[in-house]
Amino acid sequence: MPRFDPRVYVALDFENPMRALALADRLDPQQCGLKVGKEMFVVAGPEPVRWMVARGFNVFLDLKFHDIPNTVAQACAAATRLGVFMLNVHAMGGRAMLTAARDSVRGTAREQDRPAPLLIAVTVLTSLGDADLKELGHAEGATEQAVRLATLARDCELDGVVCSAVEAPAMRQKLGRAFKLITPGIRPAGSSADDQMRIVTPVAAVANGADYLVIGRPITQAADPVGALADVNRSLGVAA
């Protein structure tokens, strides 16, 4: 398990894995973790993840597993064997799926004689607003739905949830300090919102209770990605 516990995770959402690895090679594991999502994983498979782990990065494997319990359990076991710091599943998969994932992660970590990665549940995607949920047949708004799913994840002994930083205060009040909150949709002041709807600045996200911040395009598409990351860390009081 990496020795560092940086607050910012840089989202390497690249189709070309060589671009992602070239950027990662410029970054410092003490200053950030790395998030690998579906696009790069489908193109390149697990080898880039192994490279990042070997370089000392905390890796968040963001594949949002959502399937029958046995399939998700097997996928979580494979992710655990990669040595990632954190992985996620969809809370909408239900109690049986969440507990199967939890048991698989813990059991595989014991077999590997390593600490278990954080197992995080996805609640409501940050691209969805209240109107979208209503269209999908949910009477509750985004915050209410997210808190409901987060409570289920906690009851199933998962380590935390992915949620919007807008929802983080409600999560903290309901679920306590130990439950981890991982927040995408983070945009430094002055950045474009892109396709995110519920966005928050890094400083505001931490003030709202976020543990880890996922930041993609404001860093990866910056003229100086290393400098952009340093600016975010500086705003959070993290020394370079």
Active site (catalytic) residues: 64
Contact call for residues 86 and 117 (beta carbons, < 8 A): yes
Cα–Cα distance, 147 to 153 (Å, whole number): 10
CB atoms within 10 A of CB 190: 7
Would you give the end-to-end CA distance of the chain in angstroms?
Answer: 22
Contacts of 36-42 with C-beta under 8 Å, sequence gap 24+, read 36/12, 36/60, 36/61, 36/62, 37/11, 37/12, 37/13, 37/62, 37/63, 38/62, 38/63, 38/64, 39/13, 39/14, 39/15, 40/12, 40/13, 40/14, 40/15
**Cα dihedral angle (68, 73, 74, 78), rounded to 10 degrees?**
140
Backbone dihedral angles phi then psi of residue 137, each to the nearest 5 degrees = 95, 10
Q: Round the CA-based radius of gyration of the chain to a whole number and report it.
A: 17
